[in-house]
A and B are shown apart, each in its own frame.
Chain A
């Protein structure tokens, strides 16, 4: 079942068209990778799924993104705050808040008005375990999150998103600021997380897309060039441009 059905999305920043007639399905409980050179629109499309583009002035969107429950994502009946709790996001560089590890993970819940100490404790532990960070921080939950290493910070940001029990996790180049060891940990984590969440990841690393994703979509200059199972895209790309990009001829 598709977590999102993207139908003919066109998006403009002022007069620049960033997405041109993009249509694809995002299958549930799989990892979908968006690849393509810088400025191809992959991050822009990612931000459509939790409507972060709403925050940018002079942005215009046409087309539909149908959610699992059948509603269109920009429908007036969709509560954008609730949408963002259901569709979590992890950013390019780790951005933990300048608070304790505990407060970071509890942040989203507290914004939802949850104050019950027991419930918070349970969720914080659960989320940190899910993000494979619990063993490293369980004795220092009150420590400043900014004192963690970059890789730990990024896993904390994943835990922070998981705490809200989302259906979907959006990841915008989550490992581009991390070293290879921290990257490997995050990639392992994604493999275990996809059982519970639909994951969409934007990545500049072709090998990362090949390693972790089930489906890959290749974008170029705002257009979706090709989408399909990752093995097919990497072994038998149908489009010449896809082949050139993954074989490193440009990008």
Chain B
């Protein structure tokens, strides 16, 4: 009787301890999630509150006009009074990043399909490692590579058309550099999502008389759509956000937009980065935060557009 009671007590205390553990662990998870969310909020809050200062009447420097900032086609901080127009830079940024995505996306998806579905196991392991290594190369290394090699290629290529470039520094060099940089990002996400496709779907397709390739293109890619487009979004995010490497081959065009691929260009990130260390607190410093707001907006709009495109691709709307 006594032992029975003791055992019951023991069980009850064990049960209480488990409940208590569950609660603590739940709080830890919750705390981490909140912390991560707060970081994003802090960054947004800081950049935005700083970036809108120059446009407010209370600003203690030369107050800037929002409209001429957003639509301007000149960036001349060296003039007196300085001119800050970001419109053409937005167009340059979108053109170079989209150009990179247009080159990189199809190659990435086909590579991913090859790695996940076609390649023999040994080659698959080698290719996966290569893609992972590419993703791990620091952007500054991509930058010196682009400055040393891609610019030369672009210069030679332009020479074929009798066009002279600024030593190869050009929008095209930026596009090629970014295409290489976002390739591993898109590819590795696409590989993961293609691998996750239910094997039964493939068997179902083959049992209906479809060939392997028909199955891969019509069923596997459609099923992996979400992950592939998530990869595209991340890749574009990297393209929009890359500053270091891009600034090494972009040149520093002060008016625009740059529509000629062999001409030098200027992106939002290079605008923020260039001369950051030479400038002193004041308008020129604060305007970089304003450019930061624009960059955040561009990325937000791009992600929304990708969501929209994703729904349209593959013939079905995700209800």
Contact = CB atoms under 8 A, between A and B. Distances in A.
A50 interface: yes
Interface in B205-242: 205-211, 214, 218-219, 222-223, 225
A55 B215 CA distance: 13
B314 to A, nearest CB: 7
A132 B315 CA distance: 25
Interface in B289-319: 314-319
Contacts of B210: 81, 107-108, 111
Nearest to A87: B207
A103 B316 contact: yes
A3 interface: no
A112 B318 CA distance: 27
Contacts of B218: 97, 107, 111
A143 B318 CA distance: 9
B214 to A, nearest CB: 5
Given A93-B200, A144-B316, A99 B222 contact: yes
Contacts of B206: 52, 55, 84
Given A98-B222, A99-B314, A107 B203 contact: no
A109 to B, nearest CB: 9
A238 interface: no
A95 interface: yes
B316 A98 contact: yes
B208 A111 contact: yes
Interface in A139-178: 142-144, 147, 157, 160-161, 164
A164 B209 CA distance: 9
A88 B205 CA distance: 11
Interface in A52-107: 52, 55, 81-82, 84-85, 88-89, 91, 93, 95, 97-100, 103, 107
The 5 closest A-B pairs by CB, nearest first: A108-B208, A89-B207, A85-B209, A95-B200, A84-B209
Interface of B: 198, 200-201, 203-211, 214, 218-219, 222-223, 225, 314-319
Given A84-B207, A99-B314, 6 more contacts: A97-B223, A100-B315, A108-B208, A111-B211, A111-B218, A160-B204
